[in-house]
Homo-oligomer: A and B are copies of this chain.
Amino acid sequence: MSQEQGITPRAQDFSAWYNDAVMRAELADYSVVRGCMVIRPNGYAIWELMQGALDRMFKDTGHRNAYFPLFIPQSFLAKEAEHVEGFAPEVAVVTHAGGKELEEPLVVRPTSETIIYASFAKWIQSYRDLPLLINQWANIVRWELRTRLFLRTTEFLWQEGHTAHADEADAEREARLMLGVYRRFAEEWMAMPVITGAKTDSEKFAGALRTYAIEALMQDNRALQAGTTHNLGQNFARAFGVQYQTAAGGLEYVWNTSWGVSTRLIGGLVMTHGDDVGIVCPPRLAPTQVVVVPIWKSDTERAAVLPAAEGAARDLKAAGLRVELDAREGMKPGAKYYEWEGRGVPLRLEIGPRDVARAQVFAARRTGGKAPIPLAGLVAGVQAALDELQRSLLEAARQRREANSRRGVTRAELVELMSGEGGGGFAYGGFCGSAACEAAIKEATRATVRVLPDEEFRSSPAPATCVWCGAPAAGEAVWAKAY
């Protein structure tokens, strides 16, 4: 793909479109190390905005950041049986360091439960130390065979929350609370609607009691697991001896939770809002929210237009907006538009001689539509346009998801729905809860249970029988083909 060629249309090859869109926006690049990506400044700037918003939400809910070692002794990973089974096949292992072979190999963290709970065991003495609410921003390594920029890479950036609680109810409350935080972030910041619910045993985190997830539907009708929270029960506390003295003087194991989102979210943002021109950034996460492009053909026009454009950019910046002024010489406006559109900038303000004369700017939305904004009310007008864009992106994504969600599916409908390259969407149906049906459905349709949906998302009336075996349903499930 080059600028001249444009990018692959989504309808032609969604996967190629995704790569083209990411490349065109200069969000990331492949590196010489297999499966590892370079996050370029345009992509990292989105991540910084995501981090800022999430970090404030974590702190507002009482969490504090800390940092734990990158390396985990191999024996630590093995202390929790399910955990090692889940992660051992995909770890990178340091066997030599400082010119010598290590006595015990070190695993590069694929997640940090084991190394963090070893510290918790030292820090927690009594019920007064609980709850302990910690978050870590870190890099993670999982050796993946098939990688895609942001969506699945050998190394990625994430945050992992790790908490310890006195009892099951408090751990459960925390796991649900952070699921709500993730949902709020996805919807209010990313304009990416999600459904929430619990994972089945086969899809839960290795070592967890229960896993909850937010799941979004991408434009190719495949689901993206965008964040998970885990009630880890007392599994890790037992493995690492994390005990506390109760108020009554007894000794109990703590209850842990962990929860994480990663740079994968950037892939979700691209696949939720992008179009055949490239990515579209929701205003709240756009590194550049507004680009101001002055338009002139003569020096006289330039003398009138440029100061007006500079003034507009200055006023918007002063109001706290993220603004670029593109006054490059020797480049046609159309070429500039093309470049900023590819970067997903939500709002472009064009200022030509006629606009100056009318004391206005012409505002072009990245998602289509042009309208003048009077210079007298510039800041308020731009802010209103951005707010409206943020709202309409969420609304459009929600409508697309609903249009591609089917409730009360039968076995035949489920198979039909998931067949073919374009097939997919969210299929709601009754589920007996058996691992056998779950496996059979996956085998037949490549769809997996994304969640056992939370009440808000459940169908009414509830499905009575299992989509697959026809036995009485234990509840409802949402199936989709997933990233």
Contacts of A91 in B (CB 8 A): 97-98
Contacts of A41 in B (CB 8 A): 64-66, 134
Residue of B nearest to A89 (CB): B99
Contacts of A145 in B (CB 8 A): 98
- The docked-state distance in angstroms from the alpha carbon of A122 to that of B38 is 12
Please report which residues of chain A, range 29-67, place their CB below 8 angstroms from some CB of chain B when the two chains form the complex. Answer: 29, 31-33, 36-41, 44-45, 47-48, 64-67
A73 on the interface (CB 8 Å rule)?
yes
- The docked-state distance in angstroms from the alpha carbon of A73 to that of B139 is 18
* A254 CB to nearest B CB, Å: 17
**Among B71, B99, B118, contact of A155 (Cβ-Cβ < 8 Å):** B71
A119 on the interface (CB 8 Å rule)?
yes
Contacts of A115 in B (CB 8 A): 31-33
- The docked-state distance in angstroms from the alpha carbon of A266 to that of B138 is 19
- The docked-state distance in angstroms from the alpha carbon of A155 to that of B112 is 15
The oligomer's copy count stands at 2
A469 on the interface (CB 8 Å rule)?
no
A151 on the interface (CB 8 Å rule)?
no
- The docked-state distance in angstroms from the alpha carbon of A67 to that of B96 is 25
Chain A 82-117, CB-CB to B under 8 Å as 1, else 0, gives: 000000111111111111000001101000000100
Contacts of A47 in B (CB 8 A): 67
A426 on the interface (CB 8 Å rule)?
no
Contact status B95-A93, CB under 8 Å:
yes
- The docked-state distance in angstroms from the alpha carbon of A141 to that of B65 is 21
**Among B32, B98, B134, contact of A118 (Cβ-Cβ < 8 Å):** B32
Given A41-B134, A98-B145, do A68 and B31 touch, yes or no (CB 8 Å)? Answer: yes
Contacts of A67 in B (CB 8 A): 38-39, 44, 47, 157
**Among B89, B97, B119, contact of A31 (Cβ-Cβ < 8 Å):** B119
Contact status B97-A155, CB under 8 Å:
no
Contact status B94-A93, CB under 8 Å:
yes
Residue of B nearest to A122 (CB): B29
Contact status B97-A92, CB under 8 Å:
yes
* A480 CB to nearest B CB, Å: 27
Contacts of A468 in B (CB 8 A): none
Given A45-B64, A48-B65, A64-B41, do A36 and B98 touch, yes or no (CB 8 Å)? Answer: no
- The docked-state distance in angstroms from the alpha carbon of A98 to that of B70 is 17
**Among B31, B70, B99, B105, contact of A139 (Cβ-Cβ < 8 Å):** B70
- The docked-state distance in angstroms from the alpha carbon of A96 to that of B33 is 14
Residue of B nearest to A116 (CB): B38
Residue of B nearest to A108 (CB): B94
A69 on the interface (CB 8 Å rule)?
yes
Contact status B141-A70, CB under 8 Å:
yes
A127 on the interface (CB 8 Å rule)?
no
- The docked-state distance in angstroms from the alpha carbon of A40 to that of B65 is 8
- The docked-state distance in angstroms from the alpha carbon of A141 to that of B139 is 13
| A residues apposed to B, CB below 8 Å | 29, 31-33, 36-41, 44-45, 47-48, 64-73, 76, 88-99, 105-106, 108, 115, 118-119, 122, 134, 138-139, 141, 143, 145, 155, 157
- Given A29-B119, A29-B122, A70-B155, 5 more A-B residue pairs with CB atoms under 8 Å apart are A32-B76, A33-B115, A70-B108, A93-B96, A94-B108
24 A-B pairs, CB-CB below 8 angstroms? A29-B122, A31-B115, A32-B76, A32-B118, A33-B73, A33-B106, A36-B70, A38-B66, A39-B68, A40-B66, A44-B66, A44-B67, A47-B67, A67-B157, A70-B141, A89-B98, A89-B99, A92-B94, A92-B96, A93-B94, A93-B96, A94-B95, A95-B95, A98-B145
